[in-house]
Chain A
Amino acid sequence: MTALLEARKLTVSIGDRVLCAALDLCLEERQSWAVLGPNGIGKSTLLRHLAGLSPGVNHKLYCAGDPLDRLTPRQRAQRIGLLLQHSDRGFGASVLDTVLTGRHPHLPHFAWEGRNDLAIARQSLADLDLAALADRPLDQLSGGELRRVDIARLLTQQPRIALLDEPLSHLDLGHQANCLKVLTARFIGHRRTLLMVLHDLNVAYRICDHWLLLGRDGAWRAGRREHLADPETLHAVFDHPILRLDGPDGPWFQPRF
């Protein structure tokens, strides 16, 4: 197993507030990670750091052994994909044109997208049930459709490391299941890895084999999910009692109402 993305003693802070202190994290091939924690704990900021978008900390990050501060933004985007928490409708570009921008880091500077790029983009659209909307402008999409466009662009980017910030937000249950199926098929394979910010512990338990728990005052715990999925740990992280019910297909989690 090789480490695709590694953080060594990465400290995430906003102003004086330390969100995550001296984090050691290693995303290996074929692993899938869930980032779990309460609101405002720094999950999105952490993802932005891991994606190399905060130049000040890039020397603490290694992508397949290369320090991130040695990579150009373009090289970095060829390897690491980031799904942002909030979608943007832009200036009315079409769904297909938007998804095609995922090819940007792979294209030479002045090139137009070629037949191959178009085929990749169309495949991503088909995978996410968006083929019929290809020519629709973004400003005419629903929130869930827009979310799937974001995911389709990430698939079109074809990074080896996919970092996703709440990929399932706005999606109906059917599309949630389909997205998870597509994401695991694409990213938990040979030489790829996946890390998602999630709020649904049941999804996190079933889809991700590793968890990163972020707690208050910079505390964090990372490891295999079965070592972290006990009610006491979760209670401490979320500051709320969480029930764990063991079923035939694994445990189910529910907040105590």
Chain B
Amino acid sequence: MKTQHVLIYDGSFKGFLTLIFTVFEEKIEVSAISPEESVQSDMFSSPTFITTDLEKYNRVKLGLKKVLSASADKQLYFAFLSEIKGIEMQLLHYIKEAFRNKNFSSTDFGNPVVLKINQVSKMVSREKHRMEAFVRFQLTKEDIFFATIEPDFNVLPLILKHFESRYADQKWIIYDLKRNFGLFYNLQKTSYINLEFNRDHKEKSDKSSIYKHCEKEFQQLWQEYFSSTNIKSRKNMKLHLQHVPKRYWKYLTEKSSWQN
């Protein structure tokens, strides 16, 4: 019996496709794949670390483009960004089938792996759409529209385009606090950034020193609007919560106040 390997990579998509290359090239039997940061120390077999290699990444990427439709290629990337535990093994399975099975189709929904990747990518796509809706910018004294988010999945790379084309005439930052990186648009282009937050200072104490004076007023106007546009005799909290789950509330201007 062949030995089963546990593979570790840096957590990036480039790293993951490099890993795929290595698995195919060296015909490795894989029992688990895990990003570096979430490696558990009690694993029996000693894990092998795969170093990201752009050339290998590009070869797999090109290869995938040949065997997958554009939408299947996109689904693969979306599903990867879910960061769901064990998704890498499902993706490996998916890619193996795509390369080896001539009749492989990304719409063969009777195939459990195909259906799974399709469904996970839908979940990520929903989260992407939610973030396009739920980002709330606040205008800083430096004239930057600033927003923080904590999405369930790693959707920042997916929402870049949307915000870049929509808010072309204002500087903005969208920062993922969970994953500690963000997007910064400087009126020319968008780049990835890392910020150091001073955790000793409670946010409320310096809110008015960070944001412009008018910011508070517009937030209040928005809150007024939000409550005036509600029809009390149609109250339906169950539906409200279904659409705006509580975990998103703290970043929504209309669901939290300036003081918080």
Whether both chains belong to one complex is answered with no
- Chain A residues within 8 Å of B, Cβ to Cβ: none
